[in-house]
Amino acid sequence: MSGIRRVPVILHTGERAAAAETYGFAGGQGTVLEGQLLRTAAEASTLFVFMHPTSTLHLMPMPEALAARGHHVLCAASRYPKNDASLIMEKVLLDLGAWIRWARGPAGYRTVVLAGWSGGGSLSLYYQAEAEDPRVTHTPAGDPVDVAGAGLSPADAVVFIAAHLSRAETLTEWMDPSVIDESDPDRRDPELDIYAPSATHTPPFDAGFVQRFRAAQRARNERITTWAIGELDRLRAAGGAEVERPFIVHRTMCDVRWLDPAIDPNDRRPGWTYMGDPRTVNVGPVGLARFTTLRSWLSQWSLSHSRARGAANAARITRTPVLQIENSADDAVPATHNRVVRDALGTPDATYHLVRGATHYYKGQPEHLDECLDVIESWCRERGLLRAAR
């Protein structure tokens, strides 16, 4: 987008992992964080911080369009850019904390607005909850990680945009419950295989089947969690050099919502997702949690062990204004997730806005993107968050 300067920013936190978590030279240099500051020539004292646990957001439409309006926007990457195989959510909190310290310190910004878009939404809730109410001292695998003692600086406001409840809850609702053998994805329960050419159950799905389908999804997630805990215990008992184990999770884009628009209705396109045809994505190489590790599974994907779940963290945010924006044609975020977050927020200053017709990425929808940005700007101005330049 013309007129926008992209200023690279690199942070070295000095933290070293017990075992390599990322591939390549940078992974051996302690924790290295890369980001891009998007800005025009205009000065500003407010910084909008976008962060996703694993994606880099500097080429997304929203940060660019916000910067084009004269705002300063930091697209901050975690230590796991574009590779979440070994991602630990608690370490991502420390990374986000490092970026906000940089913003308030060396960068000189007086106001920080945390913009949680898509998968960054549950991260923003988890971060702000820990900044207001520090609790976490260990990962779900039991490894020490002193988030509570890190002195996380709370953001001045949180904007929750087109975002889901958490990676664990989203994955669980997308897991293919017909898989009965994690080592052989072709062994499936035909009763639950909604993508089979001769599926037993087809849309519109009756309520009883949907209930069985959801229960089987949760059971599959819990089976993997139980196995992961057992494997970690076995490795620890054995001692030696092997401290972690990677594994594959097959078929993770299977949801009755995709085929039956009457389930959790919104304005999305039936039979489609933000990644394309769900039948293809279900068996492809880039599905949620496709490649992961024991510790990472427990931290970001386990329904019973992940601490990044949206409702629990939203309830812990009691002092920070929160703006929640839902896209009515979102083809990634389930509509029910927005209602759950809205009902759970503990802050008395919570605002909700629905952008009618907007898809997840606002692709080809400049008018919907403009509406979203207008709402963000006016909401921030009403709260004195857009101050004069430094």
| Same domain flag for 279 and 362 | no
Buried b (16+ CB within 10 A) or exposed e, 275-294: beebbebbeeeebbbbbbbb
Span 282-290, average pLDDT? 94
In-domain check, residue 25:
yes
- The model scores a pTM over 0.85: yes
Calpha distance 210→243 (Å, rounded): 39
**pLDDT tens column, 1-58:** 568 999 999 999 877 666 677 766 555 567 899 999 999 989 999 999 999 999 998 8
Predicted local confidence at residue 220, as pLDDT: 98
Calpha distance 6→117 (Å, rounded): 20
| Same domain flag for 142 and 214 | no
| Same domain flag for 284 and 319 | no
Q: Collapse the DSSP code of 225 into the 3-class scheme (helix H, G, I; strand E, B; otherwise coil) and give the result.
A: helix
In-domain check, residue 265:
yes
| Cβ pair 381, 351 in contact under 8 A | no
CB proximity list for 123: less than 8 A, separation 6 or greater = 51, 52, 53, 89, 92, 93, 96, 116, 308
| Same domain flag for 116 and 159 | yes
Q: Collapse the DSSP code of 62 into the 3-class scheme (helix H, G, I; strand E, B; otherwise coil) and give the result.
A: helix
Span 168-175, average pLDDT? 97
| Same domain flag for 130 and 9 | yes
Q: Is the dihedral of CA 78, 146, 163, 216 positive or negative?
A: positive
In-domain check, residue 82:
yes
268, 301, 334 - which closes a domain: 301
What is the total count of domains within the chain? 2
Q: Which residues pair with 111 in a beta bridge?
A: 46
**pLDDT tens column, 313-359:** 999 999 999 999 999 999 999 999 999 999 999 999 999 999 999 99
Calpha distance 43→47 (Å, rounded): 11
**pLDDT tens column, 214-234:** 999 999 999 999 999 999 999
Percentages (nearest 5) of helix, strand, coil residues in the chain: 35, 15, 50
In-domain check, residue 242:
yes
Band the pLDDT of 390: cuts 50, 70, 90.
Answer: very low
| Cβ pair 331, 270 in contact under 8 A | no
**Residue at token pair 């994690």:** 182
| Same domain flag for 29 and 129 | yes
In-domain check, residue 120:
yes
Tell me the pairing of strands 322-327 and 350-355: parallel
In-domain check, residue 389:
no
Tokens representing 225 are 């969690």
Burial of 377 (0-12, 13-18, 19+ CB in 10 A): middle
274, 301, 328 - which closes a domain: 301
181 pLDDT exceeds 80?
yes
In-domain check, residue 387:
no
CB proximity list for 329: less than 8 A, separation 6 or greater = 266, 267, 268, 269, 357, 358, 359
| Same domain flag for 222 and 261 | yes
In-domain check, residue 390:
no
- Which of the 8 DSSP states describes residue 376? H
| Same domain flag for 46 and 130 | yes
| Same domain flag for 142 and 17 | yes
Q: Which residues pair with 351 in a beta bridge?
A: 323
Residue 111's domain comprises 5-166+307-382
Angle between helices 366-382 and 61-68 (to 10 degrees): 60
CATH code (residue 81) = 3.40.50.1820
| Same domain flag for 99 and 153 | yes
| Same domain flag for 57 and 196 | no
| Same domain flag for 11 and 142 | yes
Q: Find the angle CA(73)-CA(92)-CA(294) to the nearest 5 degrees.
A: 145
241, 270, 301 - which closes a domain: 301
